[in-house]
């Protein structure tokens, strides 16, 4: 008997609502997926982020010439596959009714900056990994404004050329040939810097030690004998003992940043800003008599000064924002500094410290660090509020001492956008935005503060680069008006994600973005991929272009997947309280925010299928992918974990202790946050877990995956493993990258 036959005359027939049907992604062969990846990469070439960066303005002094400035930068010329040193001329006058697009001109003549067949030295490979560099060619340069000297690393060597400065502009109709700096050093010379006082001298790192060289005579001298004390960057004089090891007593024979230094305690909750007079630096010697002679030569009134101190209960985010004013008296020192600990948000302060002599003499052991601490005469708040001045990741400020104005980048309008602002350091109050809203900007200001260049984009606009002229009245220099002057790059079309926000149960407003399936059909539920990072120092969701870095997410959307990205508690640029939610609890709070976001998206957008959700991420995102499957196997059908940290006791000491303290103080946090200790909670169904890892990973060592898999086998749980034998933390080889993307798509189409 059918259901219809069973109905009596008195039975009320209720019309059922349409139940959304599931959308199934078309399954492709391995070769078919390879073709899809090739097409995706071909499209990426059309929207490739080849925008110029690392700008340097140089003013032209020719009053009769047509150009006011020459703008130097790194960029990828049309038809090239590597970054090179380029320049553009900025005209004094423009036709306002026409769009002026500046031409990119080559500085260097037929110069190949990438080593032959991409054969970087091991030191360079590791530095590129740490800096997350994907571009080839010249990736940075140093510039000496008085002489116009450019110094850069390329082809496993160091080179220099000159243009601008007091010697005039040499490069005009024809580019120049850079000069290689010869060396007797074995190994690669890293992170070259020009001596500000005498540009004939440069400094560099070689085999973990600091060297100087004369570029004219090629004479070289080794300055330190640090035994692996210096990393491949002059900005990174930091080292930590192994987690849970004894607290070592450290002494420094050399500090790379003479003049001033930032000192942190091991817990990274106390910071001291120290002035180091050059007279304190003495030769390193094992001869006690020579050392004593050097000590006695130090003037008796010479001492270090602790000019500022910060403490916090969370952690201190280190930065390089420090601007010293010229001293007008010997006993006072005024500077601009960024402090996050005071209010929980990074803000600018103008500080005056009293350089009071202590009771310390170099021939005696000091009794207490308080001997060097200076009193604070004045601390003026320049910016304030629940937003941040950008200070991390190489951010800069520009100070015009003539007009008493400070230019900086921040998130005053919205945490999703970076803007250029200006504030008075003499009478702070108004903070004036100089860049247009609706975009996220990265800016550089000219030395005479009359121009700035902005590399900007939003989620729907690929990067543009525009130059603006700054004008203001003499009576009101603060409220200046940026005038569009010229373009260096316009943007093509792009299919963007959509940004959303929702109130989290934690009390914070959370932000996310969703890539809608390209073949979206009303009433159909699509399989969903949650792309996650979730750790500190990173913000995924903001109003900037996502095309290249997250091209894979757009590819997933083109195949019919819904893709969701959420910045939960722990991500950066939302203040220290928001980021500090992870303090001692990594892996315990992040998934909650991700699941809340998924549920919100499913309610807001009717196309998300909560019964078919995969979680995928790399590094900290790989760690959270595993945590998601362990903590919420009812929410996540699949987990695809790339290079995951699986036991915090075995990860980088400085990073781990910063966020998790030492194990003896946080045993529970270490245990609950180590996924390898919770494999018994993984699902027993096959084809729900895929782990990927580069065998040469120097960041998250392959030990983490090895230990995890051993524990999984011991627990009798199913898993799949994909190893990339010649890859480090980031997949660099194009063939490996292609294989990883195909593997990802194949696993999703087969099992989601």
Structure token pair of residue 530? 């949650």
Q: Which residues are catalytic?
A: 619, 697, 729
Structure token pair of residue 4? 């219809």
Say how far residue 102 (Cα) sits from the centre of its chain.
Answer: 28
Of 647, 403, 616, the closest CA to residue 528 belongs to 616
152 forms beta bridges with 141, 159
HSE (CB half, 13 Å, CA atoms) of 697? 25
Q: 7-23 as b/e, with b when 16 or more CB fall inside 10 Å?
A: eeeeeeeeeeeeeeeeb
Domain-located, residue 669: yes
- Residue 550's pLDDT is 81
Burial class (CB in 10 A: 0-12, 13-18, 19+), 337: buried
Planar angle of CA 461, 466, 467, nearest 5 degrees: 165
- Residue 660's pLDDT is 95
CATH number, domain with residue 702? 3.40.50.1820
3-state secondary structure of 464: strand
Contact 393, 346 (CB under 8 A): no
- Mean pLDDT of successive 10-residue segments in the chain (752 residues)? 39 48 90 87 58 88 84 82 87 78 85 68 72 76 92 89 76 80 88 91 91 92 70 44 44 44 89 86 80 81 87 92 88 93 95 78 58 90 96 92 95 96 92 95 93 91 89 81 78 75 95 93 92 94 82 90 95 92 95 96 94 96 97 97 96 92 95 96 97 95 97 97 94 90 96 96
User: What's the CA gap between 150 and 188, in Å, rounded?
Assistant: 19
Contact 70, 35 (CB under 8 A): no
The CA distances from residue 152 to 75, 159, 445, in Å, are 14, 6, 22
Contact 431, 382 (CB under 8 A): no
End residue of a domain, out of 191, 220, 238: 238
User: What's the CA gap between 674 and 659, in Å, rounded?
Assistant: 14
Q: How many domains does the chain have?
A: 2
User: What's the CA gap between 361 and 356, in Å, rounded?
Assistant: 14
Contact 689, 698 (CB under 8 A): no
Domain-located, residue 329: no
101 forms beta bridges with 487
Cβ contacts of 190 within 8 Å, gap of 6 or more: 123, 124, 127, 153, 204, 205, 206, 232, 233
Radius of gyration of the chain, Cα coordinates, nearest whole angstrom:
29
CA diameter of the chain: 114
Q: Going along 355-475, which residue ranges are E strands?
A: 375-381, 398-400, 405-410, 419-424, 431-433, 440-445, 451-458, 461-473
End residue of a domain, out of 221, 238, 255: 238
Of 567, 575, 565, 498, the closest CA to residue 539 belongs to 567
Phi, psi of 205 (to 5 degrees): -100, 130
Structure token pair of residue 16? 């059922």
Domain-located, residue 307: no
Cβ contacts of 17 within 8 Å, gap of 6 or more: none
Domain-located, residue 265: no
Say how far residue 84 (Cα) sits from the centre of its chain.
Answer: 22
Strands 689-694 and 638-642, by their bridges, are parallel
- Residue 277's pLDDT is 82
The CA distances from residue 65 to 57, 434, 564, in Å, are 17, 28, 53
Domain-located, residue 640: yes
- Residue 329's pLDDT is 85
User: What's the CA gap between 476 and 428, in Å, rounded?
Assistant: 13
End residue of a domain, out of 238, 259, 294: 238
Helix segments in 232-319, DSSP class H: 288-297
Domain-located, residue 621: yes
- Residue 125's pLDDT is 73
User: What's the CA gap between 126 and 93, in Å, rounded?
Assistant: 46
End-to-end CA distance of the chain: 37
Domain-located, residue 543: yes
333 forms beta bridges with 353
HSE (CB half, 13 Å, CA atoms) of 455? 14
Hey, CA dihedral for 484, 489, 492, 496, is it positive or negative? Answer: negative
Count the neighbouring beta carbons within 10 Å of the beta carbon of residue 161.
Answer: 22
- Residue 488's pLDDT is 77
Can you give the residue range of the structural domain that contains 642?
495-751
- Residue 369's pLDDT is 64
What's this model's pTM, rounded to 2 decimal places? 0.80
Of 703, 697, 683, 698, the closest CA to residue 626 belongs to 683
Contact 598, 638 (CB under 8 A): no
Cβ contacts of 309 within 8 Å, gap of 6 or more: 270, 271, 272, 273, 373
Phi, psi of 553 (to 5 degrees): -70, -35
Structure token pair of residue 415? 């945490």
Domain-located, residue 309: no
Contact 303, 372 (CB under 8 A): yes
């Amino acid at each position: 008997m059918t259901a219809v036959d069973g109905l009596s005359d008195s039975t009320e027939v209720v019309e059922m609502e349409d139940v959304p049907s599931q959308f199934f992604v078309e399954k492709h062969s391995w070769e078919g997926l390879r073709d899809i990846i090739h097409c995706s990469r071909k499209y990426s070439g059309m929207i490739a982020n080849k925008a110029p960066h690392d700008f340097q303005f140089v003013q032209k002094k020719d009053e009769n010439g047509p150009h006011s400035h020459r703008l130097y930068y790194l960029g990828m010329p049309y038809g090239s596959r590597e970054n090179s040193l380029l320049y553009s001329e900025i005209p004094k006058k423009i036709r306002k009714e026409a769009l002026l697009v500046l031409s990119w001109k080559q500085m260097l003549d037929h110069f190949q900056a990438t080593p032959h067949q991409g054969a970087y030295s091991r030191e360079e490979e590791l530095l590129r990994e740490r800096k997350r560099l994907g571009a080839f060619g010249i990736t940075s340069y140093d510039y000496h404004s008085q002489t116009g000297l450019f110094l850069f690393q390329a082809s496993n060597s160091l080179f220099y050329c000159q243009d601008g400065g007091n010697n005039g502009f040499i490069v005009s109709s024809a580019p120049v040939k850079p000069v290689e700096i010869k060396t007797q050093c074995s190994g690669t010379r890293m992170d070259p810097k020009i001596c500000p006082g005498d540009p004939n001298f440069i400094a560099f790192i070689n085999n973990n030690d600091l060297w100087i060289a004369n570029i004219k005579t090629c004479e070289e001298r080794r300055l330190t004998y640090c035994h692996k004390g210096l990393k491949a960057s002059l900005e990174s004089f930091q080292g930590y003992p192994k987690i849970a090891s004894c607290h070592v007593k450290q002494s420094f024979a050399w500090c790379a940043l003479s003049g001033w230094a930032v000192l942190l305690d091991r817990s990274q909750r106390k910071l001291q800003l120290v002035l180091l007079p050059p007279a304190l630096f003495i030769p390193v010697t094992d001869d006690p008599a020579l050392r004593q002679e050097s000590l006695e030569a130090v003037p008796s009134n010479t001492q270090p000064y602790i000019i500022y101190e910060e403490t916090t209960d969370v952690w201190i985010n280190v930065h390089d924002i420090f601007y010293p004013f010229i001293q007008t008296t010997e006993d006072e020192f005024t500077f601009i500094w960024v402090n996050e600990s005071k209010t929980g948000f990074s803000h600018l302060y103008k500080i005056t410290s009293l350089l009071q002599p202590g009771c310390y003499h170099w021939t005696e052991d000091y009794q207490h660090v308080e001997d060097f601490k200076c009193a604070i005469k004045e601390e003026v708040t320049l910016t304030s509020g629940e937003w941040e001045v950008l200070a991390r990741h190489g951010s800069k400020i520009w100070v015009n001492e003539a007009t008493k104005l400070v230019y900086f980048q921040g998130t005053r309008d919205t945490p999703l956008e970076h803007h250029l602002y200006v504030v008075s350091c003499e009478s702070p109050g108004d903070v004036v935005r100089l860049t247009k809203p609706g975009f996220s900007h990265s800016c550089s200001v000219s030395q005479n503060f009359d121009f700035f260049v902005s590399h900007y984009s939003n989620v729907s606009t690929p990067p543009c680069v525009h130059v603006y002229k700054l004008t203001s009245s003499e009576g009101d220099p603060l409220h200046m008006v940026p005038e569009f002057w010229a373009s260096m790059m316009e943007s093509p079309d792009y299919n963007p994600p959509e940004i959303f926000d929702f109130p989290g149960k934690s009390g914070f407003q959370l932000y996310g973005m969703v890539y809608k399936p390209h073949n979206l059909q009303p009433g159909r539920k699509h399989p969903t991929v949650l792309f996650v990072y979730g750790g500190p120092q990173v913000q995924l969701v903001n109003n900037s272009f996502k095309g290249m870095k997250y091209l894979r997410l757009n590819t997933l959307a083109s195949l019919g997947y819904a893709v969701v990205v959420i910045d939960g508690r722990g991500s950066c640029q939302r203040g220290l309280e928001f980021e500090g939610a992870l303090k001692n609890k990594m892996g315990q709070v992040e998934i909650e925010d991700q699941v809340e976001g998924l549920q919100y998206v499913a309610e807001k957008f009717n196309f998300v299928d909560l019964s078919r959700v995969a979680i995928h991420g790399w590094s900290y995102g790989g760690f959270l992918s595993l945590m998601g499957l362990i903590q919420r196997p009812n929410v996540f059908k699949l987990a695809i974990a790339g290079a995951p940290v699986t036991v915090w006791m075995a990860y980088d000491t400085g990073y781990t202790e910063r966020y998790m303290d030492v194990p003896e103080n946080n045993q529970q946090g270490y245990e609950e946050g180590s996924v390898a200790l919770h494999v018994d909670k993984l699902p027993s169904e096959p084809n729900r877990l895929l782990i990927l890892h580069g065998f040469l990973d120097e960041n998250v060592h392959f030990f983490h995956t090895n230990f995890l898999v051993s524990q999984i086998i011991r627990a009798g749980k199913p898993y799949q493993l994909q190893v990339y034998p010649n890859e480090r933390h980031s997949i660099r080889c194009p063939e490996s990258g292609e294989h990883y993307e195909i593997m990802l798509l194949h696993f999703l189409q087969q099992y989601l």
